[in-house]
């Protein structure tokens, strides 16, 4: 890839963005405080917690190098600035103004390296790209999901709003930031000019929840959560099976007709109440009763055998089921990664698949300052010759 990125991140969003870029082949240098980024020490651990990193750190920091720098220290700041002169891009997810106060913000780095792309992920964005009264507020995934619309769309009903389980409020903004950074690096290579870009976590969630805005704008009514159901598509739900749970989605005529035949209910195809997608939505209780009873009389494996390839279907799975699933194996989505002190761990692979330049996990998460000596030696002359701010 031939791209060097400084990763000045912590927690979830920033590390994930930088990891995606590392998976795609960028040289990513994680700049950590002397004590290490705090998720290094977060559970789960393979032992009593005294290891070099925990599972959360591992899941977001593979394929990276590490250097420990105290950016409040003049010598370490000089090393950082010298590294910035060698980099194509930087990604950070501190609160607005934190790196500026340390003397390593966008304006300083842009003077040092006009080609540098500077990508920031913040809860409410950066004043450089748009004013927000909340710009200095801290934020986590649950805040982004709540303010960005996802919580209002999720849950069993409007009285019980619910956040999504995964850190969507971190990882979706991170993915957009990685995409924006690549776009800006391409522009910099053509023009010689870097730029500042940022993604606000709340903004990213709003973009993800565009259906809610469309519903409000077109009809004046809010998008109300309905659990696993869809307001417009029936059947479209997670159904109980004899031994678990299974998703079945057959809202369009072709899939609905196939499902009716497989269930042994071809009479439903000719039922006037169920003749179209819209009419089926109006009679969802009739359909859910029939499909629910039929699904419950079969095991999940039986439903997969009956419906697979004919009607959209999928079992509810997690890590236990992934380990035995042929799709997961065929797509090589679980990768064994060496651990420096313990048994190998199993990590989720990069989901972006290429035919010519495969993305993969090629390096374990780094030990703290694992690459510090080499990186300091590389930039030592520059760090000594140039002022630190």
DSSP structure string for 266-302: GGGGG-GGGSSHHHHHHTHHHHHHHHHHHHHTS-HHH
In the predicted model, is pLDDT for residue 387 greater than 90? no
In the predicted model, is pLDDT for residue 152 greater than 90? yes
Sign of the C-alpha dihedral computed for residues 250, 254, 260 and 263 taken in this order: negative
Residues in the chain: 389
- Return the CATH number of 4-208+350-385, one of 3.40.50.10540, 3.40.190.10, 3.40.50.970, 1.10.1740.10: 3.40.50.10540
Share of the chain above pLDDT 70, in %: 98
The rounded mean pLDDT for the chain is: 96
In the predicted model, is pLDDT for residue 245 greater than 90? yes
In the predicted model, is pLDDT for residue 3 greater than 90? yes
pLDDT confidence bin for 261, thresholds 50/70/90: very high
- Whole-model pTM: value is 0.95
Q: Are 62 and 22 in contact (CB under 8 A)?
A: yes
Give the integer Cα–Cα distance in Å for 343 and 307.
39
- 236-240+245-315: what CATH class? alpha beta
pLDDT at residue number 310: 98
What ranges do the domains of the chain cover? 4-208+350-385, 236-240+245-315
pLDDT at residue number 179: 98
Chain-centroid distance, C-alpha 274: 39
111-135 average pLDDT score: 97
Whose structure tokens read 């040092």? Answer: 112
pLDDT at residue number 77: 98
pLDDT confidence bin for 212, thresholds 50/70/90: very high
- Of residues 7, 141, 170, 369, which has the active-site annotation? 170
Strand order in the sheet with 4-8: 64-68, 27-32, 4-8, 89-92, 117-122, 196-200
DSSP structure string for 306-355: HHTTTS-EEE---HHHHTT-HHHHHTT-EEEE--SSSS-EEEEPPS---S
186-215 average pLDDT score: 97
Give the integer Cα–Cα distance in Å for 117 and 127.
17
163-192 average pLDDT score: 98
pLDDT at residue number 106: 98
- Annotated active-site residue 170? The verdict is yes
In the predicted model, is pLDDT for residue 388 greater than 70? no
Q: Are 369 and 76 in contact (CB under 8 A)?
A: no
pLDDT at residue number 377: 97
pLDDT at residue number 309: 97
CB atoms within 10 A of CB 156: 13
Q: Are 96 and 126 in contact (CB under 8 A)?
A: yes
């Amino acid at each position: 890839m031939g791209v060097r990125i400084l990763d000045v991140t912590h927690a979830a969003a920033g590390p994930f963005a930088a990891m995606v870029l590392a998976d795609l082949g960028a040289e990513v240098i994680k700049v950590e405080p002397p004590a290490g980024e705090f998720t290094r020490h977060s559970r789960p651990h393979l032992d009593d917690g005294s290891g070099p990193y925990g599972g959360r750190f591992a899941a977001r920091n593979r394929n990276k190098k590490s250097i420990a720098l105290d950016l409040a220290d003049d010598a370490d700041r000089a090393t950082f600035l010298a590294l910035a002169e060698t980099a194509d891009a930087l990604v950070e997810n501190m609160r607005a103004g934190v790196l500026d106060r340390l003397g390593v913000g966008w304006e300083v780095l842009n003077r040092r390296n006009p080609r540098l792309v500077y990508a920031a992920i913040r809860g409410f964005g950066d004043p450089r790209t748009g004013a927000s009264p909340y710009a200095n507020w801290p934020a986590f995934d649950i805040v982004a999901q709540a303010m960005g619309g996802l919580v209002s769309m999720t849950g069993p009903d409007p009285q019980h709003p619910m956040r999504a389980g995964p850190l969507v409020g971190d990882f979706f903004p991170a993915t957009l930031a990685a995409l924006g950074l690549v776009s800006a690096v391409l522009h910099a290579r053509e023009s010689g000019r870097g730029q500042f870009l940022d993604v606000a976590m709340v903004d990213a969630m709003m973009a993800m929840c565009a259906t809610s805005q469309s519903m409000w704008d077109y009809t004046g009514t809010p998008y109300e959560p309905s659990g696993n159901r869809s307001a417009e598509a029936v059947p479209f739900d997670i159904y109980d099976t004899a031994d678990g749970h299974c998703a079945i989605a057959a809202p369009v005529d072709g899939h609905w007709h196939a499902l009716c035949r497989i269930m042994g209910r071809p009479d439903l195809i000719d039922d006037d109440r169920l003749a179209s997608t819209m009419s089926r939505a109006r009679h969802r209780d009739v359909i859910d009763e029939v499909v629910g009873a039929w699904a419950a009389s079969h095991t999940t494996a039986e439903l997969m055998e009956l419906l697979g390839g004919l009607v959209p279907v999928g079992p509810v799975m997690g890590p236990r089921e992934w380990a035995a699933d042929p799709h997961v194996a065929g797509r090589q989505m679980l990768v064994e990664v060496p651990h420096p002190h313990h048994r190998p761990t199993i990590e989720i692979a990069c989901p972006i698949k290429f035919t010519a330049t495969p993305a993969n996990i090629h390096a374990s998460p780094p030990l703290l300052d694992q690459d510090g000596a080499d990186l300091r030696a590389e930039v030592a002359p520059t760090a000594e010759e140039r002022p630190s701010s």
